[in-house]
Structure 1
């Protein structure tokens, strides 16, 4: 089994990789107790304790002695979830399945690990199984486009127009490969030779939905298909909901193109909002049930009305002249520009108050933005430069 891990990890240190492979079998996606234990103890030590309760140097006892009753109960309950899944064959099957389909194991700390997922904290993925080229996730901006499975012709058209325009200009389209809006977004991105990635709710060796077998194959060849579940894992309703947090976390912005009142896409939108990611929604006919969820986002969740790719670029901060960094759009630049008005000038202290940044940081960004011609001083204050 160690040899199989070495094949996947190209000769790198395998202990952590093997431990995280085992964790991907033991823990369901988004298991915050497992995530917290791994963050505190490391994958190997946490696995040792999860399986048989043993530990080195009393690390777990020291941790639990200082924890409150709720934490101790959560860890004990976690072990009751994990122990029934302890099976060496399951780990071996996961590794063999990955090798058979050419999947690789991507771990936190790897050069190509998408650090945007770390914003999920203890609920971040323990590892990712990848078919395709994970380097495509380094592209910015990354836009999550999601929506109804039972989409209308209008929804498919809008999704394709927005995704194709964005992908043609270098953006990465992130979605879940479902029927409807997801599929339209992926196809449009591929159609213009752009980048796209799909997060699955089952193993990357299982095409789901089956009708998208060819589409998923093309995404794996030209982009990447990803899952935190090991090969062989079946998609379930819970896993779809857990998968949605990864789509939202990877995106610099999330756009819901078409969604019913109780659509699963609203779950993705909720994750985006909780992570502080910009959220957009495409309006539809007021009589259309398939747009009711989008109208709900616009009315109740402060989503931005999106009608074109230009609106999405503005949502990502690009239309305002915000320059992406290696990790994505600089959030402080977005906050400074959002705080500024185009009609009246604001003093630095007021910009700092509105943006939540220190006066020193605001001045630093204003100086750079002035050099780029995006802002200019007026009467002791600052305002955006008209486009």
Structure 2
């Protein structure tokens, strides 16, 4: 059967399967931990070390388990190739430098980009690669920035972290291409289950696979999916810098990807229900979720994601910093932690975690206040999650403002 005829769910379930081992076919992808591979002759070793060798010689270059993971991701993203890294930020680093950015070049970056990605862009300024922040939701402002700065690369997210803004990717790509600007997009929050950016003309798709793609909080990895010529440059950079993911992490990520569709369906449904409930709570000032009717980009999100809106949400507590931290410490079921996309629900405090590199003025400009909480909605019962949030709310609000659901 032609892969192009298969649905996303089928492609995900089949990730890494049917590996031939001798005369047998494995029903689960094998782990190959070897650091060194030999051949019938030394010439075979040398050939495998070449960029076009296609074989295995040393694990910093390539590994069979990693290659199986890359092939599975490329299928899900409808990309020519995928290059797997040891973390999401290693993938971001390679995606930025792989296209050949050099001194004097300019990167346009979404102003609400993930804090650590912004911090990396600041580091690149040490090499005379300038980053200019732009509101990608403002078409006129983006067009002006593209025309004024003539950037080599535009970097944005399919769903912004942590305020869940959703850019119109198709129109942004069209504008960028008119200025011969590459587009790199972090698709971590959406995953290919919701959105396949390559189909919209995006050049480079980035994932922190530690999050939804792996999905179980037990593996750190990152992906860059792109066309063949760029993939080769990015893979060469990975070999030189030693950024390849380990075979064990690759295997765990492959295992997680096989349940991605069913997990994401539950994440989306539970997040939508929880966001609607949070809207009605007096101790919540505002809820950020693309599926809510008041969300400014709801129509864009519905069009791009097929009326599914993801498993992430954020909300502003009616509290100061001390009260918000007390709320987080009072949670018993939801886990305070700096990741997302796990089977368990996770919350974090962006000013002191994901965006801790930003000063107070920058946090204010980004719309990140002292009461902001980001939540990755897991697979637990929504009723149990609501009860836990209600209990924690009592630590920051008067009893009259919190309804007892216990």
Same fold at TM > 0.5: no
TM-score normalised according to structure 2 size: 0.30
TM-score normalised according to structure 1 size: 0.31
Greater share of residues in helix: 1
